[in-house]
Amino acid sequence: MVRSEWKVLSVDDDPEMHEGLKGILSSRMGENTFEFTAATTFDEGMALIGSNRFDLIFLDVHEDSNDPDPSDHLDHSDQRGEQLLATLKSSRFVPVIFYTGFPAKVSHLKSHIVKVVDKGAPPEEVRSEVNAILKTGLPHLAQYIEEQSRAYIWDNLEELLKQVADDTVTSDIALLTARNLAKNLSQRSVKELLGNDTSMIDPLEMYLFPADPDNCSPADIYRRKEDDALWMVLTPACDFEQDKAENVLLARVVPLTEHELYKTWKEKAREFNALEQSQQTKRNKQELSNASGAVKNLVKNNKGNRFRFLPGTFFLPNCIVDFQQLLNLPKVNSDHYEVVCSLDNPYREEVLQLFSNYYGRIGTPDYEFDSIWEKIDQEFSPE
Q: Are residues 234 and 156 in the same domain?
A: no
Q: Is residue 381 part of a domain?
A: no
pTM for the predicted model, two decimal places: 0.70
Q: Are residues 187 and 263 in the same domain?
A: no
Q: Are residues 294 and 342 in the same domain?
A: yes
> Regarding predicted confidence, which is higher, 277 or 115?
115
Mean per-residue pLDDT, 35-60: 92
Q: Are residues 130 and 12 in the same domain?
A: yes
For residue 244, the model assigns a pLDDT of: 60
Q: For residue 122, which amino acid is it?
A: P
What's the CA gap between 26 and 34, in Å, rounded?
7
Q: Is residue 143 part of a domain?
A: no
Please report the beta strands in 160-268, taking only residues with DSSP state E, as ranges in sequence order: 207-208, 220-224, 230-233, 247-255
User: Whole domain around residue 52: which residue ranges?
Assistant: 5-136
Q: Are residues 74 and 175 in the same domain?
A: no
CATH number at residue 132: 3.40.50.2300
Q: Is residue 97 part of a domain?
A: yes
Q: Are residues 11 and 113 in the same domain?
A: yes
Q: Are residues 159 and 222 in the same domain?
A: no
Mean per-residue pLDDT, 357-368: 75
Q: Are residues 262 and 292 in the same domain?
A: yes
Helix, strand, coil content of the chain in percent (nearest 5): 45, 20, 35
Q: For residue 260, which amino acid is it?
A: E
Q: Are residues 347 and 219 in the same domain?
A: yes
Q: Are residues 188 and 251 in the same domain?
A: no
Look at residue 185 and tell me whether its pLDDT is greater than 90: no
> Regarding predicted confidence, which is higher, 335 or 38?
38
Q: Is residue 372 part of a domain?
A: no
- Ranges 110-124, 161-175, 191-205, most confident: 110-124
223 forms beta bridges with 230, 338
Comparing C-alpha atoms, which of 106, 104, 107, 110 is closest to residue 132?
110
pLDDT digits (tens, 9 = 90+) for 313-344: 999 999 999 999 999 887 656 678 899 999 99
Q: At CA 5, angle to CA 91 and CA 47, rounded to 5?
A: 30
Q: Are residues 118 and 227 in the same domain?
A: no
Q: How many domains does the chain have?
A: 3
What's the CA gap between 140 and 4, in Å, rounded?
9
Q: Is residue 19 part of a domain?
A: yes
Q: Are residues 104 and 226 in the same domain?
A: no
List the single range of 48-52, 60-64, 138-142 with lowest mean pLDDT.
60-64
Q: At CA 42, angle to CA 36 and CA 44, rounded to 5?
A: 65
CATH number at residue 296: 2.30.30.110
What's the CA gap between 25 and 20, in Å, rounded?
9
Contact predicate 62/14, CB 8 Å:
no
For residue 105, the model assigns a pLDDT of: 86
